[in-house]
Structure 1
Amino acid sequence: MKFHAFKTNVMLTVLAVVLLTASGCGVKIWPSPQKSEDIFTFASVEGRRVGECLKVVVKVDGAYKNVDNLSLQFQADGSGPGEGCPTCPFFPAIRKNFVPGSEGIQSDGPTFVFSECGLDPAKSYRWRVVGRNVYDTLGVAISDVYTAVP
């Protein structure tokens, strides 16, 4: 009698383990971004200095609707605090974020236009644009470093 009860308990335990293991099959996971469909890159980045302002035009290739923000990063060339030399590595001292749809940035489909004013008209500035995707896991798009001369 004891052997029969032991055998029944073992069989029930094995059956429970098999059922728990089988119930995990086909588990759905949260949707994740598809890199090929959701990523964007910069097709072109152009900047033009107009007095105290730097006007930047960014054309995006790919999923331009996934642009969360564009960050203009710049650094003055000189010998003052926060300034660098033209041959030094680029270390942006100032960052300004532009969020599509907000004040300060205009967009026409995949083209974004924004300006940063208040620059010293006598100094040159090195700058770049960093684009963040709404899907953090897809990383950022980073432009080359450009120089805007007075």
Structure 2
Amino acid sequence: MRMFRFALLLLFVVALLGCGAKKPPRVATGEDIFTIQGATAVRQGPCALLTARLEGAVERLDSVALRVEDMTLSCPTCPFQPRERYVYELDDPRLNLANGRLELSYCGLEGGREYRFQLEGVNELRGVTPGISQVMAPGTADEKTP
């Protein structure tokens, strides 16, 4: 009986050691990230045309999310608080990506209202931080943009 208890205890210890906490593999993020640079927005009537440069592992781009803030009061220094988020898949006709240059068209703006935007590049590797642009307030098509 004593030998049975010892064997059972030994089996329990081996099972306990073999079932240690395991974590998912870590992604080598240095070579798998991209950034969004130089993002601008131009308002064209009820639409906005957003452009940006993607740098880094552009081939890892899975989709692009557009965050939209409809500003009730004109306050360019207030914190960005988007209330809407739209996801554009790479095959969406409103999105164009060529040679690291991203162009995205968003329609649905109301006249007389001000908006701010932010682009989020979603990485195909889910553990990697997305590329996020600066917050943009659109100029109009006849304004000169830097």
The TM-score with structure 1 as length reference comes to: 0.70
Segment of structure 1 superposing worse, 131-140 or 101-110: 101-110
Q: Give the number of the structure with larger relative contact order, counting CA–CA contacts within 8 Å between residues 6 or more apart.
A: 2
Count of aligned pairs: 139
CA distance in 2, matches of 1:124, 1:108: 29
Are 1:99 and 2:89 matched, yes or no?
A: yes
Q: Per the alignment, in what secondary structure is the counterpart of residue 65 of structure 1?
A: helix
Name stretches of at least 5 consecutive residues in structure 1 with no aligned partner: 1-23, 78-82
Tell me the C-alpha RMSD between the 2 structures: 3.2
Task: Measure how far apart 1:45 and its partner are.
Answer: 1.0
Tell me how far 1:43 sits from its aligned partner. Answer: 2.6
Are the counterparts in 1 of residues 41 and 139 from structure 2 also a CA contact under 8 Å?
no
Unpaired stretches in structure 2, ≥5 consecutive residues: 1-17, 141-146
Do the aligned partners of residues 51 and 32 (structure 1) sit closer, same or farther apart at CA in structure 2, a change above 3 Å counting? same
Q: For 2:91 and 2:120, locate their aligned partners in 1 and report how far apart those are by CA, in whole Å.
A: 17
Within-5 A mapping of 1:84-95: 85-86=74-75, 88-95=78-85
Letter in 2 for 1:73: R
Larger radius of gyration: 1
Pairing partner for 1:63 from 33, 57, 66: 57
Paired amino acid for 2:41: G
Distance 1:37 1:94 in 2: 31
Q: 1:43 to 1:90 in 2, by over 3 A?
A: closer
Helix, strand or coil: the match of 2:127?
Answer: helix
Runs of 4+ in 1 over 3 A off after TM superposition: 29-33
Shift of 1:145: 1.1
Structure ranking higher in helix proportion:
1
Task: Name the TM-score, length of structure 2 as normaliser.
Answer: 0.72
CA distance in 1: counterparts of 2:60 and 2:112, whole angstroms: 37
Q: 1:91 to 1:35 in 2, by over 3 A?
A: same
Deviation (angstroms), 1:121: 2.3
